[in-house]
Structures are given as structure tokens and as C-alpha cells.
Copies of this chain bind each other. A is one copy, B any other.
Amino acid sequence: MLKNFDRFNFYLQKNEIKCSQIDNIVGELLLSSRIGNNFYIRDISSLENLRESSILFIDNIIFENKSKNIHIVTNNEKNFDNIKNENIHYVKDIDRAYRLIINQLLKHEDELSFEDNFINEKNSFISKSAKIGDNTKISNNCTIGRGVKLGSNCIIKNNVVIKNAIIGNNVIIGDNSTIGSSGFGFNLKDMGSINLSPQIGIVYIEDNVRIGSSCTIDRGKIDYTFIGKNTMLDNQIHIAHNVKLGENVCIAAQSGISGSTIIGNRVIIGGQAGISGHIKIGNNVVIAAKSGVTKNINDNSIVAGFPAIDIKEWKKNIIKNRSDRYK
């Protein structure tokens, strides 16, 4: 599912920054640095998507920098000591360093969405830089933000907000839904809106996806949140940042998927289910309504309960645990 996108379709570069300027930006967080190649930083990488002339924030994973155009920021001494990393900053607090550097580099949604030029049609604000496909209909009181790409034959109902998103053909988005807003990214040690980790990724939605009313699909932190072809979301669904949903996934109302979780193809999820962050659900899985899934689930499983277990075991447990009157 590796996909790339031009980040600068969605927001603007704020300042030109060379690797050597990071010393100043991180200030007292600086422990040490090495600059083999003092290039202009033009983008942000993740371990999954290494980008040219970019900066990469990594904590406890040792990374061999094979490209001279990736500048590393780490809080891990081992990363710094690795002789192959010629372009690196070693800092005390990687979350703060991320915030300080990205906020120097980019004007991202939380400050930018108010500065765009819009076409106003039926009280919907459509950014002049958005690309809207043939026969795509946008109803009343929507906002379609900078750089958004909407395929053909899409139906965008009323009061829908779409920002930072690339959307395929035949996609339906229900009333009062929000696609591509910033996710819940920060460090619990540093709460408060002024300490948010900049969320600078996007949302990819493939063809034939159906999203109900009052859903919230947050954009990726650095890369993207992904919804595969033919996937069907009911109302009041929450999809957190970096989540990947496969193709032909069906999610009933009021369920939520926490950040960075990956869900396979042909997965069916009942209503009011919750799925923890950073886990992996296989293909052809069925997750019963109201389940709380806390661990990886293998292909072809059917699970229920909280914490979710095999549905047959869940049913046995329910019978076993009934009080005597039922026995």
C-alpha cells in the first residue's frame, strides 16, 4: 500500500531550513549533531516512506541512513553512534524536537486552512487548488480544502469538511462528516493545544468507498490514513490517524479504530466496537458488535467481547459465568 503524495499541494513551506540550522531550532534540547551534507530540508520521512531531501524522526530503532539526503533526528544514542548516520541530530526530547522543527518548516492545517482562496458555491467553500472530478456533486455548506483531489462521480453531502485528502471515484461522504482533520497527536507529558505534534499527512480514500453521516477520519501524522476500495462505513465512525483499512471492509455505526492500526480485506466490524492502536487485524476477520480488540487478530477469525477472544469461547464464558439461577 505504499503511496506517495506531494505534501506541498496541501500546505506551504514556511521557511527554508538547512540541516545546520537545526541546532538553533532545537536549542536546549540539543545533545550532539553531525552534518555530512548540509542540504535544504524539503520534506519529512517516515521509516515506511523515505523521501528525498527530508528529515526523519526516529526513537529506538537503529536506522542505517543509505541516502545522504535524509537528515535524522533521534533521542537514541545508539542511532547517533551508528557511523553510517552521517547526518544526524541527537536530542533530549524527540517529540518537542519534532514540533519545533516541523512548525518552522511548514504552515500546516491548523494555521493555514484559514488563508486559502475559495470558490463559494451553494455556500460550500471549494479551494481554488482543489481538483474536482467530472460529475462529482458537492452539496451545501461544505469546505473542500487546499490541494484536495476528488475523483469523478463522487457525492459529497451537506456540511462535509474535506481537507488534506486524495479521494477516488464514486465515493459517497455523508452529511456532517469530517475527513482529513488533524488527529490526536501529542505526548502525555506535554499536554495542551500549544504542544500538539504537527499532523502533516493526508487521507487516501480509494474508489467506491461509502462513508456515513457524522464520521471523523483523521489524516496521517506524516504519511497517510488509508481506506481501501469498496469499504463501507456506517454513521458516527471514528478512524484515527495512520489507520489503514483494506478493501471491502464493512464497519457498523459508532465503532472506532485507534491510531496506526492496520485492518485487512473483507473484514466485518459490528457496531460500537473499538480497536486498539498499533495492532494488526488479518483478512476475512469478523469482529462482533461492542467488541474491544486489544491484540493482533489472525486471518479468518471471528472474535467478540472485551478483551476480544474467539467468539465460541466468548459464548462458553458467558454460560459458565452465569449465576446459579441460570444453571
A residues sitting closer than 8 Å to B (CB atoms) are 110-111, 113-114, 118, 120, 122-123, 125, 137, 139-141, 143, 155, 157-159, 161, 170-172, 174-178, 181-182, 184, 186, 188, 191-194, 196, 207-210, 212-214, 216, 218, 229-232, 234-236, 238, 240, 248, 250, 252-254, 256, 258, 268, 271-272, 274, 276, 289-290, 292, 306-307, 313, 316-318, 320-326
Give the CA-CA distance A170 to B47 in the complex, in Å: 32
Residues in chain B near residue A272, CB distance under 8 A: 256, 272, 274, 292
A256–B238 contact, CB under 8 A? no
Q: Is the CB of A140 within 8 A of B122?
A: no
Q: How far is the CA of A318 from the CA of B323 in the complex (A)?
A: 9
Minimum CB–CB distance from A148 to chain B (whole Å) comes to: 13
- Determine the distance from Cα of A234 to Cα of B234 in the docked complex, in whole angstroms: 20
Instruction: State whether A235 touches B184 (Cβ < 8 A).
Output: yes
Which residues of the other chain, B, contact A196 by a CB distance below 8 angstroms? Answer: 172, 210
| Closest residue on chain B to residue A318 by CB atoms | B307
Contacts of A209 on B, CB cut-off 8 Å? 192-193
Q: Judging by beta carbons under 8 Å apart, are B238 and A238 in contact?
A: no
Which B residues are CB-close (under 8 A) to A258? 252-253, 271
Are A161 and B181 neighbours in the complex by a CB distance under 8 Å? no
In the bound assembly, the distance between CA atoms of A254 and B182 in angstroms comes to 16
- In the complex, A322 Cα to B307 Cα: how many Å? 12
Residues of B close to A114: CB separation below 8 A = 137, 139, 155
- Known A-B contacts A141-B123, A143-B140, A317-B322; the reply to A178 vs B175 at CB < 8 A is yes
* CB-based contact A253/B238 at 8 Å: yes
